Amino acid sequence: MSFSSLVQDLSLRDRDGNGPAPRRPGAPSVSSTVDDRASHISRAMSYASTSATSVSISGEVSSQLHGGYFHPLARSWQAERQLTKSMLIYPLFITDGPDDMILVPSLPGQHQLGLNKLVPFLEPLVRKGLRSVILFGVPMKPGSKDALGSAADDPEGPVIQAIRLLRRRFPQLFICTDVCLCEYTSHGHCGILRDDGSLNNQLSVDRISDVAIAYAKAGAQCVAPSDMNDGRIRAIKLKLIEEGIAHKTVLMSYSAKFSGCLYGPFRDAAGSAPSFGDRKCYQLPPGGRGLARRAITRDIGEGADIIMVKPASQYLDIISDAKELGRDMPVAAYQVSGEYAMIHAGAKAGVFDLKAMAFESMEGILRAGATIVVSYFTPEFLDWLEH
């Protein structure tokens, strides 16, 4: 008897009432099901031993999987990678209002922070083991946005000022900067536009790489272009080399960034929703696995030091592809604003426990192959990983 027909046979017996009562999905298992499972196993074994094709002892022994994970510690050993504090990057939204501390309604518990609020906000987190942040600038002053996104690398602007401040006050903190123009352009798109409203790739790449260099020179140890213009990784790498700072700047590429509906809360937080159209011409279609693989391969070839997949939980196959294509390099996954908001909404509606779901989503992301995770849950994980 084949394994699948065995399983089928057993599940038929369940329905006939000879096995445990069918469990409601998500209901906790009760101890009686453990006994029932034991009787299943012995039944399975007796089937197996009467079968002509599987009579070996090893066949029986290999069915005893529970022995490998009955204990919490042994359970944790089943994972290839376990979440540690140093894997986490925490996204921060920096405004140009020095005393701002504004809750973002669609992103529970997350703030837009002014420069004066940054150090007191981060101090307790750094004490708990926060190792890295990624900065997003949010210019709010009227008139600060223009067609070129000039505020992005304004030396007096929020990002450059925040980099300097954080390097001074938290010398151990690893500062990543998102490099894009959508937060700073009047039209809200991620590059420089032609008259017809489409992206001018060459001008966009020139501008994006200038912004990346400005962040790196201000002291950011990592620049992470999220604009998706073709050729930006090569352009940034070449400029970093030209400027003599390639040896102290990590280039993290948002290589596989999908266009979908999971960035809504972020666009509230960053004030970066496009004023017309969408990002479909420069972000990947959700079904485009092959395209994502090509983008990842290309970015590795252009000199990326880390490749990123974004969003995370809906794109676990892409994370796994990234780990395969970039098996000699770190793979980051961005658990984006919509994923975070969904988990909060589900927990609030009583679908699951927030902490349990946050861990399960993280375990999925790590299992798929991520070695770094950008997450709004970072402050919570710093607490949860204490115990």
Ligand X SMILES: NCc1[nH]cc(CCC(=O)O)c1CC(=O)O
Residues near Zn ion (CB under 5 A) are 180, 182, 190, 281
Using CB under 6 A as the binding rule, whether residue 90 contacts ligand X is answered as: no
| Smallest gap from residue 264 Cβ to ligand X (A) | 8
Structure tokens at 68: 């490998």
Output 117 or 232, the one with its CB closest to ligand X. 232
Give the residues across from 179 on adjacent strands.
Answer: 225
Using CB under 6 A as the binding rule, whether residue 182 contacts ligand X is answered as: yes
| 323 included as an active-site residue | no
Output 337 or 361, the one with its CB closest to ligand X. 337
Q: What are the b/e assignments for 172-189, b being 16+ CB within 10 Å?
A: ebbbbbbbbbbbbbebbb
Q: Is 376 annotated as a binding residue?
A: yes
Distance CA 148, CA 276 (A): 16
Q: Are 386 and 355 within 8 A, CB to CB? A: no
Q: Are 184 and 154 within 8 A, CB to CB? A: no
Q: Using CB under 6 A, which of 215, 258, 266, 315 touches ligand X?
A: 266
Say which entry of Zn ion, ligand X, none residue 187 contacts (CB below 5 to 8 A, set by partner kind): none
Which of 145, 310, 323, 355 is catalytic? The answer is 310
Structure tokens at 343: 């988990």
Q: Is 281 annotated as a binding residue?
A: no
| 128 included as an active-site residue | no
Say which entry of Zn ion, ligand X, none residue 281 contacts (CB below 5 to 8 A, set by partner kind): Zn ion
> Helix (H, G, I), strand (E, B), or coil: what is residue 372?
strand
Using CB under 6 A as the binding rule, whether residue 178 contacts ligand X is answered as: yes
Q: Considering only residues 1-40, where is the footprint of ligand X by CB under 6 A?
A: none
- The DSSP line for 175-220 is EEEEE-STTTBTT--SSPBPTTSSB-HHHHHHHHHHHHHHHHHHT-
| Catalytic positions, written as ranges | 257, 310
Chain residues binding ligand X by CB under 6 A are 178, 180, 182, 190, 226, 263, 266-267, 279, 336-337
Residue list, annotated binding site: 180, 182, 190, 267, 279, 337, 376
